[in-house]
Structure 1
Amino acid sequence: MTSTSTPPGLTRFNALEEHAASAALHEVCASTAWTRRLLAARPYAAPDGLYAASDAAMAELTEADLAEAMAGHPPIGRPEPGDPASAREQSGMSGAGDGLRAEMLELNLAYQERFGHVFLICATGRSAEEMRDAVRERLGNPPEKEREIVRTELGKINRIRLTRLVEED
C-alpha cells in the first residue's frame, strides 16, 4: 500500500512522538506489554500490519498482562463517566430496563467473585439481553477456558478501537 492510500489516522499515528503514540495505544488497551509491542513495530504501512501486531501481542500477554488490560474496562452496564469509548461500546445497555440493569449488576458481581476480574465482552453491537445471556453462560466456565475467552474478547475490542484510531480524519 502506498502512503497516499494509508488512512489519515494511521499516518498521524505513525508520526506521533513515542509518548503520544503510547498514550493513544493506552486508550485502546491498558496493557503496558501490548502497548510496548505495538510501539516497537512502528511505522505501519497499512492497517492490517497494525492489526496483525495487535493480535500477536494479545496472544503473548501473560496472566498479569491480561489483568492489567482488563483493569482498563468498566463493568458492563456501568461505563466510566467521561469515557466515550466505553459508553459507545456498551450502548446496548442504554435502553435496558431497571430489572435487567439490576440483574447485570448481580451477574457482574458473581462473575467478578468467581474469576477475580470484570466480565469482559466485546459489547459493540450486542443487546443488553445478549450480554446478560453471555455472562450467565460464561459463569460456568473453568477459569482457564474463561481466560482464553477474555483474551479473544479483548482482541476484538482492541481491533474495533484500533480501526477507529486509524480511520479518524
Structure 2
Amino acid sequence: MTEAGFLGCCGSTRFAREMALRGPFSSLDLAVEASREIWWNKVDVSGWLEAFAAHPRIGDVEALRTKFASERFCSGEQEAALSSANEQTLHELADWNRKYEGKFGFVFLICAAGKSSSEILAALKERYSNRPIEELQNAASEQQKITELRLAKLMSNDANSSPAVEAKLGDTPAAPSTDVKQATPGTGPASNLRPPITTHVLDVALGKPGSGIDVSLHLWTENSSPGGSEANADESHGFWTPVGKSVTNNDGRSGPLMTPSNYLQPGKYRITFHTAAYLARVHGGEKNEGSVFYPYAMVVFEVKPSQAGEHFHIPLLLAPYSFSTYRGS
C-alpha cells in the first residue's frame, strides 16, 4: 500500500499521495471509502485529467495489449471487449475515440469490465453528444469505478487473497447498495455514518407524522443492452433499479433505504411513497384504496458528482388532494 501502488489504481499523483498518507487500510471497505472521499473532495480537475491520461485509448489494440501484458492492475479489465471485437468494430472504436478526444480533450473512459466491444462502442457514440461538463463528470465517475476494482485487486494481493477481500472482486463497485442490488464496497455500516438518502412523511392535513407508509428508493440505470428489469422501464434509455425499501415509523420517518456511507453514487434517484393504504385508513374512513386520489407519490431528484459527499433528506408533505417536497437537512 505504497504511493506507487495506489498510483497503479488511479493515475492521479494527488490521489495516490493522499491514499498513502491515510493507509494502510485494514479492509477493502475502508480503502474504498477513503478513495471516494479523496477523489471527489481532494483531487481537482487537473488531477482528474492526469488520471484520465494514464489510460490507453480503447480501440488502440496494440497499446492495450502492451499495457495489459505489463501492468497487473489493468489485466482483464477490458478482456471481454478485446475477445468480442471484430476488425470492423475495432476500427470504429479507434475512429470514435479520436473524435471523442478531439471534442473533449481527454480520452474516452469507461469501466469496461464485462462489457463487449459493441456495448462500449454504443456507449461511446451516445456520450459523444454530451456537453463537455457532463462528459467530465461521466469520466470522473467511470474512473472511480475502475479505481475501486483495482483497489480490490491490490488488497487481494496484499492480503494473500484473503476470503474477505476476494468476496469483493465480483461486485460492481460504482453502484450504491450492492451494485444497487444491495451493498456497495466501502459503504459498510459504521457508528458515525448514516444512509446518504433519508426521508420522512408529514400529514399536513392533520399536522401529524404519516406512519405506516411503504417507501422505496430506486436508481436510474442507463441501458447498456436491450431490455429493462421493470415493467415501467423505458428500454431505449434505461430502467429504475431497486436500492432499498422501508416503512415510516410513528414519527413518520423511514427506516434505512440504503447502506450507511459518507459517499453517494451520483445519478438520478426516485423515492416512491405508497400512500394509498395510508390515505384510505386515515382520511375519510375510506376502506377502498381505489377511491384515493393519490395512490402513490414519486419524487425524482439528481445527485451531481460534486455532491457525492453530501447528505440528501427528501421529505414528503402529504394531504388527501396535494403533496409537496423539499430538500431538508
Give the structure-1-normalised TM-score. Answer: 0.84
Please, which of 16, 34, 41 is the counterpart of residue 22 of structure 2? 41
Q: CA shift at 1:83, angstroms?
A: 3.4
Q: CA shift at 1:93, angstroms?
A: 2.5
CA distance in 1, matches of 2:5, 2:30: 17
**Structure with larger Rg:** 2
Q: CA shift at 1:69, angstroms?
A: 0.4
Q: Deviations over 1:99-158 (max 9, x none)?
A: 000000010000000000110000111110110001000001111111111111000000
Letter in 1 for 2:100: Y
CA distance in 1, matches of 2:95, 2:155: 37
- Structure 2 partner of 1:158: 147
Equivalences for residues 83-102 of structure 1 within 5 A: 83-84=70-71, 85-95=73-83, 96-102=85-91
- Structure 2 partner of 1:3: none
| Stretch of structure 1 that moved more, 153-162 or 36-45 | 36-45
Equivalences for residues 101-116 of structure 1 within 5 A: 101-116=90-105
Q: Aligned to 1:126, what secondary structure does the other structure show? A: coil
Task: Name the structure with the higher helix share.
Answer: 1
**Runs of at least 4 residues of structure 1 off by over 4 A?**
none
Structure 1 residues 98 and 145: CA distance shift in structure 2, 3 A: same
Q: Aligned to 1:137, what secondary structure does the other structure show? A: helix
8 Å Cα contact 1:80-1:87 kept in structure 2: no
- Structure 1 partner of 2:49: 67
- Structure 1 partner of 2:133: 144
CA distance in 2, matches of 1:35, 1:164: 16
The sequence identity of aligned pairs, in percent, is 30
Q: CA shift at 1:77, angstroms?
A: 2.7
Give the structure-2-normalised TM-score. Answer: 0.44
Task: Name the structure with the higher strand share.
Answer: 2
Compute the RMSD of aligned alpha carbons. 1.3
The higher relative CO (CA closer than 8 Å, separation ≥ 6) is in 1
Q: Deviations over 1:60-115 (max 9, x none)?
A: 22111011101110011331513344342111222311000000001000000000
Unaligned runs of 5+ in 2: 161-329
CA distance in 1, matches of 2:148, 2:142: 10
Matched, 1:29 2:10: yes
Q: How many residues are paired up? A: 150
